[in-house]
Structure 1
């Protein structure tokens, strides 16, 4: 969660950004890895779409990943970040999970148009959440300040909710055992990621107050 609309952990957060050499290397490597990996995925996805232009969900999924991962490259460096090895592994796997998807034709559980509509809904939720955060989002769990407006008044992690909706839209139009396993594994990791992120953020009294106002993390009434 993020941004300067609410109290920060420092009066001048930029002054507190001080990375060790190892942390700086990890920061640069994670960001640079996104470019070739995301580019490869987009190329493979477009290739599959050209072979069957009825598979609109492929293009929407690629767009969603560009929006998700691509923008993270340009996110600002936070004042506090979780450098725990478990957090690093979970973040990398949960971020680049799309490379494990089978993008060749699968089973269409619902019409392509309906699946595409679900994806669009998920992307719109992501955009709304990212617009609320501006550049204050990224890959690793981090304290980027606290914001409580927009979709963050409903659940504490609306951006992840957008990811979940988008994944469901892709899965129901491209169903297969492999893709089902990827989604289940991905969201197991995402839950761990959310818990780790909140462990870090709960050190901030402002975030603890926010948790008291907004009860649910991801799905209202469930989690």
Structure 2
């Protein structure tokens, strides 16, 4: 049975979810504005769609039975979730053709959708125990959702390359790794998850991490 949230936790829950709407709306509006100025930049639309998918599902997620309310986890989660606001979305250097970059992004979004479909409503922002999922892409790596995010980010970067965007992604993925580690610290309290970790060795990229 879920424990009742304290007043501070409930306030945090409401604030984090409420913030998603205006912040996401701002990013989508800026992306559409840039796309209207240059309709060839389809990577902007794919990236905006991916962020809408992530945030909307997080807002609709069920309240978990156990969640990490540590201030570090909260700060890391908020920064890693809304990192897209720091991106430079004006035209950058194209390391690969826009179409190829969009294909990479779509591959990343497809992984995200498959992972989120496997999770159902067991998806959210803060590290939490929403039930252990071991099916679908979770048979390959322990965090396929983050793998999808990584591929999508790479697709965006190679068509919108610049120093600022590289810095944003380095910071973003440093935070995401912290997020993964803290999430696993929480989930490791569950014997089912410990057994799952013994079967699926890698967290994010098979053979690497």
- Deviation (angstroms), 1:16: 1.9
Matched, 1:31 2:17: yes
Q: What is the CA–CA distance in structure 2 between the aligned matches of 1:175 and 1:37, rounded to whole Å?
A: 23
Which is bigger in relative contact order (C-alpha 8 A, separation at least 6)?
1
In structure 2, the partner of 1:46 is 32
Q: What is the CA–CA distance in structure 2 between the aligned matches of 1:17 and 1:216, rounded to whole Å?
A: 31
In structure 2, the partner of 1:175 is 161
- Secondary structure of the residue aligned to 1:108 is coil
Q: 1:94 aligns with which of 74, 80, 90?
A: 80
Runs of 4+ in 1 over 6 A off after TM superposition: none
Q: What whole-Å deviation, never above 9, does each CA across 1:89-128 have from its counterpart, x for those lacking one?
A: 0000000000000000000000000000000000000000
- Secondary structure of the residue aligned to 2:185 is helix
- Deviation (angstroms), 1:17: 3.5
Q: What is the CA–CA distance in structure 1 between the aligned matches of 2:92 and 2:2, rounded to whole Å?
A: 49
Q: 1:61 aligns with which of 29, 39, 47?
A: 47
In structure 1, the partner of 2:125 is 139
In structure 2, the partner of 1:209 is 195
Matched, 1:125 2:111: yes
Q: What is the CA–CA distance in structure 1 between the aligned matches of 2:119 and 2:4, rounded to whole Å?
A: 22
In structure 2, the partner of 1:11 is none
Q: What whole-Å deviation, never above 9, does each CA across 1:140-188 have from its counterpart, x for those lacking one?
A: 0000110110000000000000000000000000000000000010000
Q: What is the CA–CA distance in structure 2 between the aligned matches of 1:29 and 1:16, rounded to whole Å?
A: 20
Matched, 1:82 2:99: no
Give unpaired runs (5+ residues) of structure 1: 1-14
- Secondary structure of the residue aligned to 1:217 is coil
TM-score, length basis structure 2: 0.99
Number of residue pairs the alignment of both structures matches: 209
